[in-house]
Chain A
Amino acid sequence: MMSVQSESSAEPLIRVDRLCKIYSLESGVNGTVNSQVLYDVSLSINRGEFVAIMGHSGSGKSTLMNLLGCLDTPTSGHYWLAGRDVASLSEEELASVRNHNLGFVFQGFNLLKRMTALDNVATPLLYAGVSRAESRQRAQELLQQTGLGKFSEYQPNQLSGGQQQRVAISRALVNNPQLILADEPTGNLDTQTSGEIMGVFERLNREKGITIVLVTHEDDIAAYASRLVRLKDGRVIHDSKVDS
């Protein structure tokens, strides 16, 4: 499939321009009710940045995250991912972008229940058309790196929350993405495990140069990031570098 890796590095990895998102809800009495969640959000994120997006619930941070992750399409505005206008891509092409360029880490881990940790990590490679043997080998390597080598044949419900999140991170990394999107990755974890997981993200960012965009509402989690973006009522109200 097409890759956007070859674009010039002067171009920011993510550039969104006046992004709007309006949800239309069918309502029995009033017909259609429109509710606008994002108002003209413009944002630029360079390669290698570690960005935390903060905001109260309803601030639109999850919606922004879905748009950045190509899980949803904006109502208006533009989104360039590594120089490529992804707002205009078909569902088929978006699936390919998600597969090759992005890695997701969710609050609820979102592992596939009836599969082993190894198969969970290998699945994105299978969708990318990599052979089964090769996928499993690569998945095993990644599990080894995150310290889960001997848990590869365990099913998600046999693993602790921290372990499950490590499996999810391994899965996000398996296709060598430029960007990892983490939606409250520590929301279901205790403080100590949260610290460990954030350590993993920090290392990935520092050692491998992977761009990380993190959504959270906890200040101490956001403190791991090098840049902080605050959203309120669908608008960016704060954007600054942080010294960590």
Chain B
Amino acid sequence: MLGMIIGVAAVVLMLSIGQGAQATVNQAIASMGSNLFIVLPGATSSGAMRQTSGSVQTLTIGDAQAVAGLPSIKAVAPIITGTAQLNFGANNWSTVVTGVTTDYFRVRNWSTEDGEVFTDTDFRSAARVVVLGQVTAKNLFGDEDPTGKTIRIKKSPFIVTGVLSAKGQSLDGRDQDDSVFIPLTTGQRQIFGSQFPGTIRFMMVQGKSPEGMEEAESEINQLLRQRHRLAEGVDSDFTVRNMAALAAVATGAAKVMSLMLGAIASVSLLVGGIGIMNIMLVSVTERTREIGIRMAIGANRRAILTQFLLEALVICILGGLAGVALGIGGAWAVSRAADMVVVITLGMVGLAFFFASAVGIFFGFYPAKKAASLRPVEALRYE
């Protein structure tokens, strides 16, 4: 009984943790936007020197516009970033300032919770407007409504046009809500003095369809090599990252973990089942006389078999119920204590329960068979 409870509880707990991990990863992937490439400047090597991507600024707004013209591409969001000090009244906060085009919010599938994002007109006129992430808004304004207020970024005044909805952690664990967004043009001209005007830090590219991702990747490579006048055999001075592939890896890893947890839990369920078999075998021996009496008053083998199977099943079902309760409680405790996302589905509980019953019948069968095959005289004579 205890074995069964622990087995079922373990299955429910492990599955809910596994599912929770998967849900977390899926949410992070969804928050990234779909069919995304990230194109980073600077590449793998420059002459004999190998450098990390982003170490030189070889991508320009012109590149971004050209990529946007490709047939397999839906939208492009060139991005510049930097860290800056923000002020509102007495509050100040240091955060990532990102210069973007209006397309950025579409690519990231990111809408405002309050107010609006800035417009194309703001972009063209390099207006001093800003959109705040949730965390930044909270840190600067507290409970106040930021829309329409003026904050200072590196001492220049910016009007807040809106606050974005919460997005949570990204795949690499950064808090995406601790950020502010200004028009790319404003950033280039007024906040981040760049050595090379017109260069961008990186760009996000959204493909038209999940199927066309590989084709889009080769198109981007071809176009940018052409624009950067790179001869055959020369290394690219940019890197194209397919985020969908990255997402697939993350999802795969979460699945494997979930599967592994499930496997471990199954073993404990199996051990629970063997425990049940033991209990039932002991019970058959202890109750040999009872079996004899029942046979003497007319029970046939089938009736004895049914009785013992039912008993095993009842133990398993009761144990299963207690196990499910314990598992759900445990999952709740884990989610509270470790701040983990756990997901409990009805299907999962059903699965654990189904296996508990199956184990009960499977391991109850041998003792039941043994009880039923006793000879009436011998069973009656047993002390």
Contacts and interface: CB of A to CB of B under 8 A. Distances in A.
Interface of A: 66, 69, 71-72, 91-92, 95-96, 98-100, 104, 106, 110-113, 123-124, 127-128, 171, 175
B380 A128 contact: no
Query: Does more than half of chain B's interface fall in helix, strand or loop, or is it mixed?
Result: helix
A75 to B, nearest CB: 13
B300 A96 contact: yes
A72 B300 contact: no
B157 interface: no
B301 A99 contact: no
A171 B376 contact: no
Contacts of A66: 377
B298 A99 contact: yes
A171 B295 CA distance: 13
A96 B294 CA distance: 12
The contact size tier of chain B is 10 to 19
A35 to B, nearest CB: 15
B297 A98 contact: yes
Contacts of A128: 298
Nearest to A99: B298
B294 A123 contact: yes
Contacts of B295: 71, 95, 98
A100 B298 CA distance: 8
Interface string B287-328: 001101111111111110000000000000000000000000
Given A98-B296, A127-B300, 6 more contacts: A71-B377, A96-B298, A104-B296, A112-B294, A127-B298, A175-B298
Contacts of A123: 294, 297
B167 to A, nearest CB: 62
B370 interface: no
Nearest to B289: A110
Nearest to B290: A112
B380 A95 contact: no
B71 to A, nearest CB: 77
Given A110-B380, A127-B303, A72 B375 contact: yes
B44 to A, nearest CB: 79
Contacts of A111: 293
Nearest to B303: A127
Interface of B: 289-290, 292-303, 375-377, 380
A91 to B, nearest CB: 6
B297 A124 contact: yes
Given A71-B380, A96-B298, A113 B303 contact: no
B236 to A, nearest CB: 82
Contacts of A91: 300-301
Contacts of B380: 71, 106, 110
A98 B375 CA distance: 14
Given A71-B376, A72-B377, A95 B290 contact: no
Contacts of A104: 296-297
Point out which of B296, B302, B376 has the most chain A C-beta atoms below 10 A from its C-beta: B296
A96 B303 CA distance: 12
Contacts of B294: 112, 123, 127
Given A71-B377, A71-B380, A72-B377, A113 B296 contact: no
Contact of A171 (B289, B292, B297, B299): B297
A96 B301 CA distance: 11
Contacts of B376: 71-72, 98
Given A66-B377, A72-B375, A95 B293 contact: no
Greatest chain A CB density within 10 A among B293, B299, B375, B380 is at B293
B266 to A, nearest CB: 35
14 contacts: A71-B380, A72-B375, A72-B376, A72-B377, A91-B301, A95-B299, A95-B301, A96-B300, A98-B295, A98-B296, A106-B380, A110-B292, A110-B293, A124-B298
A71 B303 CA distance: 16
Contacts of A110: 289, 292-293, 296, 380
A104 B377 CA distance: 13
Nearest to A100: B298
A171 B297 CA distance: 8
B298 A92 contact: no
Given A112-B290, A113-B290, A127-B303, A99 B297 contact: yes
Contacts of B298: 95-96, 98-100, 124, 127-128, 175
B297 to A, nearest CB: 4
B296 A127 contact: no
Nearest to B300: A95
B293 A112 contact: yes
A26 to B, nearest CB: 14
Contacts of B292: 110
Contacts of B289: 110
B300 A92 contact: yes
Contact of A92 (B293, B301, B375): B301
Contacts of A113: 290
A127 B297 contact: yes
Nearest to B293: A110
B376 to A, nearest CB: 4
Contacts of B303: 127
Given A112-B290, A113-B290, A69 B296 contact: yes
Contact of B299 (A71, A106, A127, A175): A127
A222 to B, nearest CB: 23
A17 B302 CA distance: 31
Nearest to A110: B293
Contacts of B290: 112-113
